[in-house]
Structure formats: C-alpha cells, structure tokens
Amino acid sequence: QVQLEQSGAEVRKPGASVRIPCKTSGYAFDFHYMHWVRQAPGQGLEWMAVLHPSGSEATYAQSFQGRITVTRDASSGTFYMDLWSLESGDTAIYFCAREMETGSGALDIWGQGTMVTVSS
Amino acid sequence: QSALTQPASVSGSPGQSITLSCTGKHSDVGTYTLVSWYQQHPGKAPKLMIYEVNKRPSGVSDRFSGSKSGSTASLTISGLQAEDEADYYCCSYVDRSKYVFGTGTKVTVL
C-alpha cells in the first residue's frame, strides 16, 4: 500500500528551526516528485516546495526562499523539510504529497500532516 | 505568486449541479494545462479529484468534472450528495517547477 507517514506534532519557539520527516512506503520513491504544502489554522493550502526524483534538485516558493530546504535520505526512503527562523505565522499543518506522474502536477498521495506550533 | 481566486462558498441542494471557479492569470492557469482540484474534509488531508484540467484519477466519481477557459478553470459536481460537502482547492503550475493553490471554496449541501 502506497503511504506517506508523518510525525504528529512539533512545538518550537520563535527563531528556532524544525525538521519534518515524511517516510515513504509501497512505491519507488525515486521515480516521483515530492511536494510540501502547508495549511495554517482555518486557512487554505499553500504550496511550499518540490524535490526532483533524483533527490538533488529542489524548487521553492518565493515566500520561503532562503529559509527552507527539502531533502531525501535514499537509504530509508524518507523525505525531510527543514524550515528555520520560525515565527508565529509558521504555525500550520505541514503535508508532504507525492506527484502521481512526472510532470502532471497531480498530488495523489498525501501524508496525514505534521502540526507545527510556534509559540514563546 | 498570489493565490488563485476561488469563491469563498458555493451551495446546492442534493441532486443539483454546482460549478466552482478558479481564476488565475495568463501566466498560470491561462498558459498551462496542469490544473488540479482537491477535496478536503475537516481534519483530513486533501484528496485529488481532477488533474490536468479534466482527468479523473481512478476511484473518483464521474460526477466530478473539470474544464478550463482562458485563465479560469472550473470544477463541476453533478448530482450533489451530502458527502460532497467539503472544502475544494484548485492548483496550477506557474513556471520553473512552481505551483500555486487557490483560496479555496467551501461547498455546502443544503
């Protein structure tokens, strides 16, 4: 069964950083793009970043440029999203999502989300 | 990149058809066919309903259909059912591997 497993919740203070894992199972992770999307409480979806199947090329939304990195551990099939210089506005649920077919932009499998709370 | 514009809410009675709009710019929806739609129930992850403007993934009801005209994409739900009550988001490719989501539409089944 194709799955993306994410951890439950993280709490950070303003100015800190967070690393969110996304563990894949049931498919060849090196054949699919992996996207990251977040959703602030009561708000809409916001696209953040995408990692190329090679694991070596990433593209980031302009609003996160300079304080985000997405990577992959090929030995475990786990993807990571690192976000630093956190502020209260970064409080949100962070999702990883698989792109179904290369170049389709279709996110067919989603993790359950990781809630990140930024508070002093 | 600003979010695509969607109406905040749309409602309909069971059995009716409703259409959700998603308005972007020439540089996103107007240029690319990589427009997708997602359904999200409260507390759940989004679910892919339509991709590449009008393609349905396996397992998605044929009551859901998509189209595009100029810089506006649309999602039509036919034969509205109680289970269709959810938030719906469109998403478009922008350029250089970047994407943008819409503001979201809350669908209410009366």
Kindly tell me if the per-residue pLDDT of A8 is higher than 90. Answer: no
Of B106, B37, B99, nearest to B66 by C-alpha is B37
What is the 8-class DSSP label of residue A92?
E
Contacts of B38 in chain A (CB under 8 A): 45, 107
pLDDT at B1: 79
Q: Does residue B4 have a pLDDT over 90?
A: yes
The mean of the pLDDT values for chain B is 97
Residue A106 with chain B: CB contacts under 8 Å: 36, 48, 51-52, 55, 57
- For B101, the closest of A47, A100, A110 (CB atoms) is A47
Question: Which residues fall within 8 angstroms of residue B98, CB to CB, at 6 or more apart?
Answer: A47, A50, A59, A61, A62, B1
Instruction: Report the residue from A61, A108, A111 with minimal CB separation from B98.
Output: A61
Ranking A96-100, A101-105, B49-53 by mean pLDDT, the lowest is: A101-105
Q: Are A45 and A58 a contacting pair, CB within 8 Å?
A: no
pLDDT band at B50 (very low <50, low <70, confident <90, very high): very high
Whether A21 contacts A112, CB under 8 Å = no
Phi first, then psi: give them for residue A64, nearest 5 degrees.
Answer: -110, -5
Tokens of B101: 């989501």
Residues of chain B contacting A95 with CB distance shorter than 8 Å: 45-46
What is the rounded average pLDDT of the residues A23-30?
Answer: 95
Q: How confident is the model at residue A7 (pLDDT cuts 50, 70, 90)?
A: confident
Q: Give the residue on B whose Cα is nearest the Cα of A60.
A: B98
